[in-house]
């Protein structure tokens, strides 16, 4: 596998875990890894390579939405992930950011 393909796969695991807040076993199954440990190691390698937060802390829905946007996902894509509309998603992220003193709008 080319290095770019490996990086894309690792990014997918990292983002899936961050946005869906699923167990590592679920992340592994959804992202094509054999074990939760393998998925966790892939996400860790991606985070360390890109200087992203590690370990992933448990975030609320608003925090997950906010950091999904920071990491380059569009509002529309995040809304599809949460089966919601863009205004609701933005409002949820805005409330989380304002409570935590994070800059608004989120920037990558």
| Tens of each residue's pLDDT in the chain, 108 residues | 556 889 999 999 999 998 888 899 999 999 999 999 999 999 999 999 999 889 988 789 999 999 999 989 999 999 998 999 999 999 999 999 999 999 999 987
Residue 9 · residue 42 · CB < 8 Å: yes
Contacts of 98 (CB under 8 A, 6+ apart): 104
Residue 92 · residue 61 · CB < 8 Å: yes
Confidence at residue 55, expressed as pLDDT on a 0 to 100 scale: 92
Confidence at residue 2, expressed as pLDDT on a 0 to 100 scale: 59
Confidence at residue 4, expressed as pLDDT on a 0 to 100 scale: 83
- Written as one string, the DSSP assignment of 30-59 is HHT-SSHHHHHHHHHHHHHHHT--SSPPP-
Domain-wise residue ranges, the chain:
3-50, 61-100
Question: Distance between CA atoms of 73 and 71, rounded to whole angstroms?
Answer: 6
Confidence at residue 56, expressed as pLDDT on a 0 to 100 scale: 86
């Amino acid at each position: 596998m080319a290095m770019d393909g490996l990086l894309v796969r690792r990014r997918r695991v990292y983002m899936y875990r961050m946005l869906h807040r699923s167990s590592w076993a679920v992340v592994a199954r959804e992202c094509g890894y054999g074990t939760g440990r393998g998925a966790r190691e892939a996400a860790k390698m991606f985070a360390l390579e890109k200087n992203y937060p590690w370990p992933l802390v448990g975030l609320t829905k608003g925090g997950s939405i906010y950091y999904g946007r920071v990491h380059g996902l569009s509002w529309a894509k995040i809304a599809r992930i949460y089966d919601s509309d863009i205004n609701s998603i933005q409002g949820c992220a805005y409330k989380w950011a304002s409570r935590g003193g994070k800059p608004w709008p989120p920037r990558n």
